[in-house]
Amino acid sequence: MFHSSQSMWFRKAQKWQLEVDVVVIGSGAAGAVAALAAHAGKAKVAVLEKSDRFGGTTAVSGGVVWVPCNKHMADVGIADSFDDALAYVTRLADGRSEPALIRRYLETAPQMIDFVEGATPIAFKALGRYPDYHPEFAGGRPGGRSLDPGLFDTNTLGPWKDKLRRSPVFGMTAMSVSEATDWGVFSKPSALPFGLLAKRFKQGLVCYGGALSGGLLKALLDRGIEPTLGTSAEELLVDDDRVVGVRARQGDKDILIGAKRGVVLASGGFEWNADLCRRFLGGPLTHPNSPPGNDGDGLRMAMSLGADLGNMSEAWWCPSLMVPGEEYDKRPLHRGDFATRSLPHSVIVNKQGHRFVNEAHNYNDLMKAFFAFDPVAYERTNLPAWIVIDQQYLDRYALLTYVPGMPIPEWLIKADSLDELATAIGVDARGLAATVLRFNRFAVEGADPDFRRGESLYDHFYGDPEHKPNPNLGTIEKGPFYAIAVHPGAIGTKGGARTDGDARVLRPDGAPIPGLYAAGNVMAGVTGAGYPGAGATIGAAMTFGYLAGRHAAQRSG
Ligand SMILES: Cc1cc2nc3c(=O)[nH]c(=O)nc-3n(C[C@H](O)[C@H](O)[C@H](O)COP(=O)(O)OP(=O)(O)OC[C@H]3O[C@@H](n4cnc5c(N)ncnc54)[C@H](O)[C@@H]3O)c2cc1C
């Protein structure tokens, strides 16, 4: 029987407007690598992208790719072992992923990197000083597993130059992740080589996720695969239980695209779908950091065909800050906060004025402390929450659009005393005063026995290496004092269709749905609850994209 997943309006006699071997839905890292791998397997490929730009969240990201045992680690003198990586990821997954899938990921990721470097202009560089997110855990590493895609010249894309998605945050500062680290992007923002960055911007160079997506796009174009932008996949079409195509929406018309060998869902997470977030996530996700196209379309399509789901309560959590009025793709821009809370002279407090977490901890695990629940009061104790800083912070460090030397932005809540600041933000003044008094003692002593801020190598990476005695701890004592709200955000969700080691979408009985694959944030994330290191989301997305594309090209599943 030939039918669509939702309706019977589609008849077999109807012609495809386009017929290929493999249809890929989404142009982020997962989709682009799936398309390249399918092409390498001699498949004719179509890439559908809902928005009018190529690259998805991947293109606005840091572009870092986490791959244990990658060959570039030798260049920075760090050794790795499969068993160490396996033990480490398994611990962080916290029982929410499947052992065989974790193995498959770790076995395949280094091969995937070789494949991507062979197929694209990207030459990755190991980031020797970017630690894993729990570097002190057994199997963790002080650096080297995170790979930097470097810079990319958008002029090589020809007419596609302006169709590559640009980050609203890093889009104009072309510095590689290695350079950003060497130049002290967080701790010495005023010392960045602004002249060089302006020159590079004029030249059309991009960095981070722009460089990664740019390199992937170039490889697709070189193979004659022109992504179809402005085309939203709406429905999977099925014949005799096999997925054979997609109904997509282009402007005000439907088009039917046949997929002789398979369809790869690579449509990202569901973080912009408030309804799905409310129904599934383990905490409120009100301020997603990705572009707003990630609405859970792929998840919905997989569910329509009876896919099993996994890891649905998890996200790649990230505390978010906002500059009022800033927008991206006509929606509010929520900026992930990676450093403000890690630098000296800052704390995060709840409405009682209390600290509740190591503020410098990795963004994914940190966010979970915001969801702590008081069963008696029946409320989340740590929401809302505020970052409190003093003038010493603003004299040295950047904050969102502010760089030292600029006028103090109006969106920062400012007060001459901590008492007045507490009143302005609705926080208990006595609680805040006691917290700051205690924290200031820790800052002078260089150790935080309450929450262990500034203890891990990870914390130090986002701190100020020149600040003594601890790169993450500085007193809050010089007025004026300032506050900004911290919101629950995520750089993407990571729950979705359960897959096997070839990225085939599974039914609840464990059998694959023939012809259907999932990779990236639309699949049940292989790292479960955890975030092993910088680039672990894209590393997994590219790995399962590679597996999906390779397998689909064979038409064996
Ligand atoms: C500021 C920021 C920094 C980050 N830095 C890093 C980092 O350095 N390293 C890292 O590993 N991760 C990072 N992340 C997270 C990472 O970017 C994402 O987890 C990852 O890119 C997801 O890849 P993906 O291919 O699954 O989806 P995406 O890159 O989100 O791509 C999905 C695409 O599918 C499209 N789509 C959706 N629905 C449809 C449909 N119905 N039809 C057609 N197309 C559709 C979307 O428009 C989108 O373009 C960062 C994220 C942010 C926001």
Residue ranges of the domains in the chain?
1-8+15-314+494-557, 319-490
Tell me: pLDDT of 248 over 60. Answer: yes
Task: Please indicate whether residue 266, judged by its CB atom, sits closer than 6 Å to ligand 1.
Answer: yes
| Residues 112/551, Cβ–Cβ less than 8 Å | no
Lowest-confidence pick of 5-9, 163-167, 173-177, 530-534? 5-9
Tokens found for residue 190: 């005023």
Kindly tell me the burial class for residue 231, based on how many C-beta atoms sit within 10 Å of its own C-beta (0-12, 13-18, 19 or more): buried
Q: From CA 332, how far away is CA 272, in angstroms rounded?
A: 11
pLDDT bucket at 556, cuts 50 / 70 / 90:
low
CA distance 519 to 542: 8
Residue 457's CB is within 10 A of a number of other CB atoms, namely 17
Q: What is the pLDDT of residue 555?
A: 80
Q: Which SS3 state, helix, strand or coil, does residue 555 take?
A: coil
pLDDT(535) > 50: yes
In 391-518, at which residue ranges do the beta strands (DSSP E only) sit?
A: 413-415, 481-493, 496-497, 504-506, 512-518
| Cβ of 48 below 6 Å from ligand 1 | yes
Give the number of the atom of ligand 1 that is nearest the alpha carbon of residue 32. 25
Does 385 have pLDDT greater than 70?
Answer: yes
- The answer to whether the Cα torsion of 250, 252, 254, 255 is positive or negative is negative
Task: Give the Cα separation of 98 and 528 in Å (integer).
Answer: 8
Confidence at residue 3, expressed as pLDDT on a 0 to 100 scale = 47
Distance CA 267, CA 264 (A): 9
Pick from 49, 85, 7: nearest CA to 291: 49
Residue 177 has pLDDT above 70, yes or no: yes
319 pocket-lining for ligand 1 (C-beta < 6 Å): no
Q: Please, which pLDDT band fits residue 478 given cuts at 50, 70 and 90?
A: very high
- Nearby residues of 361 by Cβ (< 8 Å), 6 or more positions away: 453, 456, 458, 459
Residue 212: the pLDDT is 98
Evaluate: CB of 340 within 6 angstroms of ligand 1: no
Q: How far apart are the first and last CA of the chain?
A: 19
521 lines ligand 1 (CB under 6 A): yes
Tell me the CB-side half-sphere exposure of residue 431, using CA atoms within 13 A: 14
pLDDT cut 70: percent of the chain above it: 97
Closest-CA residue, ligand 1 atom 48, reads 56
Which residue of 61, 64, 517 sits with most ligand 1 atoms within 8 Å of its CB, as the best mutation to test the pocket? 61
Exposed / middle / buried, residue 420 (Cβ in 10 Å: 0-12, 13-18, 19+): middle
- Check residue 497 and give its pLDDT: 98
Residue 290 CA, ligand 1 centroid: distance in Å: 7
The pLDDT, as a whole number, for residue 98 is 96
Which has more pLDDT, 173 or 141? 141
Question: Residue 557: what pLDDT?
Answer: 56
CB of 49 shorter than 6 A to ligand 1: yes
- For 478-503, what is the mean pLDDT? 98
Q: How far is the CA of 268 from the centre of ligand 1 (A)?
A: 5
Sorted by sequence, the CB contacts under 8 Å of residue 556 that are 6+ apart come out as none
The response to whether residue 302 sits with its C-beta less than 6 Å from ligand 1 reads no
Q: How far apart are CA 84 and CA 139, in angstroms?
A: 4
pLDDT bracket for residue 171 (50, 70, 90):
confident
> In which band, very low, low, confident or very high, does the pLDDT at 15 lie, cut at 50, 70 and 90?
confident
Q: Give residue 469 CA to ligand 1 midpoint distance, Å.
A: 39
Indicate the fold that domain 319-490 takes in CATH.
Answer: Flavocytochrome C3; Chain A, domain 1 (3.90.700)
What lies within 8 Å, CB to CB, of 72 at 6+ separation is 124, 125, 126, 144, 147
Q: Where are the alpha helices (DSSP H) in 41-73?
A: 56-60
CB contact at 8 A, 79 and 140: no
Using the predicted structure, report yes or no on whether residue 7 has a pLDDT greater than 60. no
- Does residue 100 register a pLDDT over 80? yes
Is residue 341 predicted with pLDDT exceeding 50?
Answer: yes
- Does residue 547 surpass a pLDDT of 80? yes
How many angstroms is it from 57 CA to the middle of ligand 1?
A: 3
pLDDT at 14: 65
- In this prediction, residue 8 has a pLDDT band, given cuts at 50, 70 and 90, of very low
φ/ψ (deg, to 5) at 279: -75, -30
The reported pLDDT for the residue numbered 29 is 98
Which two structure tokens, joined as six digits, stand for 532?
């092993």
Q: Is residue 5 scored above 70 in pLDDT?
A: no
- Beta bridge partners, 265, equal 25, 518
Q: How far apart are CA 323 and CA 329, in angstroms?
A: 15
Q: What is the dihedral angle through the alpha carbons of 390, 392, 393, 396, rounded to the nearest 10 degrees?
A: 160
Query: Region 314-323: what's the mean pLDDT?
Result: 98
The owner of tokens 């590219």 is 542
Ligand 1: centre distance to CA 170 (Å) = 15
Architecture of domain 1-8+15-314+494-557 in this structure: 3-Layer(bba) Sandwich (3.50)
Give the nearest ligand 1 atom to 520 CA.
26
Specify the ligand 1 atom closest to the Cα of 169. 1
Nearest to 239 by CA among 548, 48, 549, 514: 514
How many alpha carbons lie under 13 Å from residue 325 in its C-beta half-sphere?
3
Which of 538, 542, 543, 546 has the most ligand 1 atoms within 8 A of CB, as the residue to mutate?
A: 538
Which of 58, 125, 270, 329 most suits a substitution to test ligand 1, by most atoms within 8 Å of the C-beta? 58
Give the single-character DSSP code of 278: H
Ligand 1: atom nearest CA of 538 is 11
The minimum-distance atom of ligand 1 relative to the CA of 537 is: 11
154 lines ligand 1 (CB under 6 A): no
pTM check: above 0.95? yes
pLDDT digits (tens, 9 = 90+) for 404-456: 999 999 999 999 999 999 999 999 999 999 999 999 999 999 999 999 999 99
Q: With helix as H, strand as E and coil as C, how does 304-364 read?
A: HCCCCEECCCCEEEEEEECCCCCEECCEECCEECCCCCCCCCEEEECCCCCCCCCCCCCHH
Q: What is the mean pLDDT of the chain?
A: 96
Percentage of the chain lying above the pLDDT 90 cut: 96
pLDDT at 11: 46
Would the CATH topology of 1-8+15-314+494-557 be identical to that of 319-490? no
